[in-house]
Amino acid sequence: MSFQIFRLSISAKGGISLQEACRQCLTTNGIPEAELSNSKVRRLVIAGMASINGIQERQPARRMKAGDLVAVKFDSSRFFREKQPDDIDFEMTQDRILFEDSSIIVVNKPACFPTEATIVADRKHLHAAVKEFLHRRDNTRNEPYAGLHHRLDRETSGVILFSKTREVNPAIHALFLEQRIHKVYTALTVVPVRACAYETQDRFVLSNNIDRITPKSSAGKWGVVQTGGDPAVTDFVVRNRRSCYLEVQASPLTGRTHQIRVHLSSVGLPLLGDVLYGGPKQSQGIPFDITRTMLHAETLSFPHPLTGELIEVTAPIPPDMQKILDLQ
């Protein structure tokens, strides 16, 4: 294992945390700021890679004093290595476009493909794929603009809205703020082994607060909390009951991280394939492995940001979910 040792002397002002001092130390020594996520720098400190005045320190929040000397042991091969899921090999094509005009484009995101860039610079993602497609299709001299306004988890498939001009961005932003963009998801959940009050209800609404429940140094997991967090509301309709799954329509009225996944898991109905929130990869009555979280952003409806015309776009159920829906 080959380390570089980077050093930084804290200025007369002092008062910053060790985590921030390590960030400054790395950027001063040529590591791009864009590569230094909070979680990565924090993990570096917790792993014992930082010292203050020659003494190892593992507390990211430790406050620095003027004149302190920070040293960071840095192994680029480990720091930049992200745990890579098996992303699909995807190229944007015309049949993925669900709606398009001169100002917006709505596309059908495949499952197991990131919406946007990650810390791995060369990892492919939908945002780049849309721009590359428009550039190729329209034969433009410069890379065309595509503004990303919301995202889906890597394993979630379905509808994503992009703007095609910067001028329309304020109007789209206002639609999100005013909750005038409505989303409907299809979710496939387990059939609970234990009695679940919501299993037999045709419709239910979950309203509570959601916050991150794991430290920033570990995989991100959110949960329902009694204090703090952000309000989260989801309207659920049970469309179909089968012996091996429930088909549930989910309409989030707020936009919290993992909101649908957290809400369903919190009442004993985790999504099939959602291991993080208790969903199985194998389930009785399903004669094949479930390879991803069974969640699909099916419909997006909104007034057009320029004309006000109601736009409703639907992405067809993907084959892996349809295969389960076809089970009797």
- For residues 225 and 315, state if they share a domain: yes
- For residues 249 and 213, state if they share a domain: yes
- For residues 99 and 74, state if they share a domain: no
Q: Which of 12, 46, 79 is the last residue of a domain?
A: 79
Give the model's pLDDT for residue 120.
63
Give the model's pLDDT for residue 77.
63
The CA distance from 49 to 22, in Å, is 10
Any domain includes 84: no
- For residues 69 and 106, state if they share a domain: no
Any domain includes 98: yes
Domain containing residue 216: 94-325
The CA distance from 271 to 280, in Å, is 8
- For residues 169 and 309, state if they share a domain: yes
Q: Could you list the mean pLDDT of each consecutive 10-residue stretch along the chain, which spans 328 residues?
A: 80 82 90 78 82 89 90 77 72 97 98 83 87 95 93 96 97 95 97 76 95 74 93 96 94 95 95 96 92 97 97 98 92
**Torsions phi, psi of 182, nearest 5?**
-110, 135
- For residues 156 and 68, state if they share a domain: no
- For residues 101 and 213, state if they share a domain: yes
Any domain includes 243: yes
Give the model's pLDDT for residue 1.
44
Q: Which of 30, 49, 79 is the last residue of a domain?
A: 79
- For residues 187 and 317, state if they share a domain: yes
- For residues 73 and 112, state if they share a domain: no
Question: What CATH number should be reported for the domain holding residue 300?
Answer: 3.30.2350.10
**Count of structural domains within the chain:** 2
Question: What CATH number should be reported for the domain holding residue 61?
Answer: 3.10.290.10
Any domain includes 25: yes
Any domain includes 88: no
Q: Which of 12, 47, 79 is the last residue of a domain?
A: 79
SS (H, E, C) the chain: CCCEEEEEECCCCCCCEHHHHHHHHHHHCCCCHHHCCHHHHHHHHHCCCEEECCEECCCCCCECCCCCEEEEEECHHHHCCCCCCCCCCCCCCHHHEEEECCCEEEEEECCCCCCCCCCCCCCCCHHHHHHHHHHHHHCCCCCCCCEECCCCCCCCEEEEEEECCHHHHHHHHHHHHCCCCEEEEEEEECCCCCCCCCCCCCEEEEEEEEEECCCCCCCCCEEEECCCCEEEEEEEEEEEECCCCEEEEEEECCCCCCHHHHHHHHCCCCECCCHHHCCCCCCCCCCCCCCCCCEEEEEEEEECCCCCCEEEEECCCCHHHHHHHCCC
Q: Pseudo-torsion of CA 58, 59, 63, 64, nearest 10°?
A: 10
Any domain includes 89: no
Any domain includes 86: no
